[in-house]
Structure 1
Amino acid sequence: MINRQILLTYLYLLIYICLSSGVILYNKWVLSPKYFKFPFPITLTMIHMGFSAFVAVVLVRVLKIVAPVKMTFQIYATCVIPISAFFASSLWFGNTAYLHISVAFIQMLKALMPVATFLVAVVCGTDKLRCDLFLNMLLVSVGVVVSSYGEIHFNAIGTLYQVTGIFAEALRLVLTQVLLQKKGLTLNPITSLYYIAPCSFLFLFVPWYLLEKPVMEISQIQFNFWIFFSNALCALALNFSIFLVLGRTGAVTIRVAGVLKDWILIALSTIVFPESAITSLNLIGYAIALSGVLIYNYLKVKDGASSQLPMESIPERVTKEWKLDKKSSDIYRDDVNNSEGMMGKAGSVVELAVEEEAPLLPAGSRGALSYIGRSQLSNSHAV
């Protein structure tokens, strides 16, 4: 009989999938010139960053739910600022893509995330160029090319924005591992927002002032407080829902949930936005790319397991993850209470991964630098 802990874990996963899909669709609706008609992605991202920074400051400084980490000016200048710069860039380019291409096609392009992360990691020396991983990257790339060829409303500008955003996010992920890990600095979602969101807001201010502010002054735009407040609130809720999910599941479970979410989102986007129809060639290409992503994730999980645990079958590993749910949750909460962030089984720093759905998402270090079908869990940004 399924116990209460497993049911609660499934509930958290369901909440994550619903919020993740909902926030992406919500962002697309807000930015689309056909619906809410607010074609200012930098402005929307700044609203999310400003709201996230405000909430984080209240939680850290006013309510004192989490204590700030020991952050010197040198660490902030050499680690937080460059990470925030790439973070802001990934949100800016990723959100701008919504103006030109469909949600379904964006999800398919996001299959390139492990390719971008792998290439950047190899260049930065944090990963080795292995034949098996390289062949998987080729498989993913071929799948994305096939999917792009089958796109009815293919837009080169939107595709370029999305791919640029993906590589900016890959650089952020690798920088997070290289810079923060070497400094021994670990951040949980609240302290991450506390330090990174204000800095990202400032980085976004410059392109906003030069590109969007002049257009907003001469355009008749509608600004509905409740629309933007609820949008930012949903993105923040997504951030914390992933915080809960990561405390109760392992790498395998999270990746399966991410892949399921991507398929659900692609299907929902064609219903909510009928103009974004998908073709059979789209699906064939995405299936090819996704097979490469799944093999890649399996190899990364296998590498992690071989360095820490005896070899086990995937079903055995999933069963063990469920059995360890309560224990991992307790460890997770203790880490948060100590303001040390969530640590993986190997004791490595948490990887702060982001999607185009939420402002800042922490991905378990158990799956370092790998992506869940879309990006391991993956802006508000959109954020």
Structure 2
Amino acid sequence: MSSKKELIFIGSLILLWYCSNIGVLLLNKLLLSNYGFGFPIFLTMCHMTACSFLSYVSIVFFKVVPFQRIKSRSQFFKIATLSLVFCGSVVGGNISLRYLPVSFNQAVGATTPFFTALFAYLMTFKREAWVTYACLVPVVGGVIIASGGEPSFHLFGFIMCISATAARAFKSVLQGILLSNEGEKLNSMNLMLYMAPIAVVALIPAVFVMEPNVLEVFVSVGIQHRFMWIILILNSVMAYSANLTNFLVTKYTSALTLQVLGNAKGAVAVVISILIFQNPVTVVGIGGYTMTVIGVAAYGETKRRYN
């Protein structure tokens, strides 16, 4: 691949990654709030169903990555544990979108490095350089400031968002511990291939118990809003695309590039969501979110230098 073609290819991948990540966030908000389809567990089940099917097609038929088999019962139980934690983080994130604007959801989500460092220390006793921990102060401080300046602040939504962010960080640390054995390591695409069906199996009974009238409302809202079906399908495909492009961007660039792009993605998502949903923002809220993003960027840089 020539240098010019390679740049176009990588640029297209990054654009698709941005569109997938921001798109799934905005469509989640649209379905959960604007269309009145308040069933975050069912929505997560749709995402996981799409991830199950599309992962199988991508790996088995299109051979995006080599297929990796589960080698033991122990490895399966480890993957199942990761799947349930991952599932909890997605459900929590979707629940929070019912009550919080996307902009504030992204501000809270930016604190993932804080929880990752916390769980890494508690579970593996891994210590970072003091300057790395110092960079987490503005990460947390920014969210506290943003919370105080958020006109649409909702306590339950905030708790769900924090829980989802913590669960996401917990899953990444847990993955490093459970699948640390060379014989048990799976790339992220094969891990999704196994995790997604397990999540669907876990979510089906949860939907019937916690959202018993989902099918009735689903049909009713679908008749009232003709495009809801298309939005739901597109939303579910984007959920898989976000995972696939995340893997590909890391493969063709680097983990550091992904982190930098991720920080910028959060800011882009905030701006786009404010323009689309017209949710009110304050100077204090914007200042708090900016502080958090700067703290995350500094944290990533210090980890690269001192680890």
Percent identity between matched residues is 27
1-structure distance, mates of 2:218, 2:183: 48
Counterpart position of 2:298: 295
2-structure distance, mates of 1:116, 1:133: 13
1-structure distance, mates of 2:113, 2:208: 33
Which letter maps to 2:67? A
Residue 56 (structure 1) shift: 2.7
SS at match of 2:36: coil
Residue 220 (structure 1) shift: 6.9
Larger RCO (CA under 8 A, 6+ residues apart):
2
Query: Which deviations, in whole Å up to 9, do the C-alpha atoms of 1:88-138 show, x marking residues without a partner?
Result: 100111100000000000111112111111101100015215422222222
1:90–1:166: 8 Å Cα contact kept in structure 2?
Answer: yes
TM-score, length basis structure 1? 0.72
Which letter maps to 2:14? L
Aligned pairs (5 A) from 1:68-83: 68-77=68-77, 79-83=78-82
1:251–1:301: 8 Å Cα contact kept in structure 2?
Answer: no
2-structure distance, mates of 1:58, 1:214: 32
Question: Are residues 262 and 219 of structure 1, via their aligned partners in 2, closer, same or farther at CA, if it must alter by over 3 Å?
Answer: closer
Residue 195 (structure 1) shift: 0.8
1:126–1:178: 8 Å Cα contact kept in structure 2?
Answer: no
Question: Are residues 56 and 287 of structure 1, via their aligned partners in 2, closer, same or farther at CA, if it must alter by over 3 Å?
Answer: closer
Query: Which deviations, in whole Å up to 9, do the C-alpha atoms of 1:311-350 show, x marking residues without a partner?
Result: xxxxxxxxxxxxxxxxxxxxxxxxxxxxxxxxxxxxxxxx
TM-score, length basis structure 2? 0.89
SS at match of 1:182: coil
Counterpart position of 1:377: none
Match of 2:239 among 235, 239, 262: 235
Counterpart position of 2:15: 14
Residue 281 (structure 1) shift: 0.3
Which letter maps to 1:31? L
2-structure distance, mates of 1:247, 1:195: 20
SS at match of 2:253: coil
Match status 1:283 vs 2:286: yes
Counterpart position of 1:3: 4
Contiguous gaps of at least 5 residues in structure 2 = 223-227
1:45–1:92: 8 Å Cα contact kept in structure 2?
Answer: yes
2-structure distance, mates of 1:112, 1:62: 38
Aligned residue pair count: 299
2-structure distance, mates of 1:254, 1:7: 17
SS at match of 1:39: coil
1:143–1:289: 8 Å Cα contact kept in structure 2?
Answer: yes
Counterpart position of 2:157: 158
2-structure distance, mates of 1:146, 1:36: 31
2:21–2:238: 8 Å Cα contact kept in structure 1?
Answer: no
Which letter maps to 1:263? A
1:151–1:279: 8 Å Cα contact kept in structure 2?
Answer: yes
Counterpart position of 1:138: 137
Contiguous gaps of at least 5 residues in structure 1 = 305-383
Which letter maps to 2:252? R
2:119–2:173: 8 Å Cα contact kept in structure 1?
Answer: yes
Match of 2:267 among 260, 263, 267: 263
1-structure distance, mates of 2:236, 2:50: 7
Identify which range, 21-30 or 184-193, moves more after superposition.
184-193
Higher helix share: 2
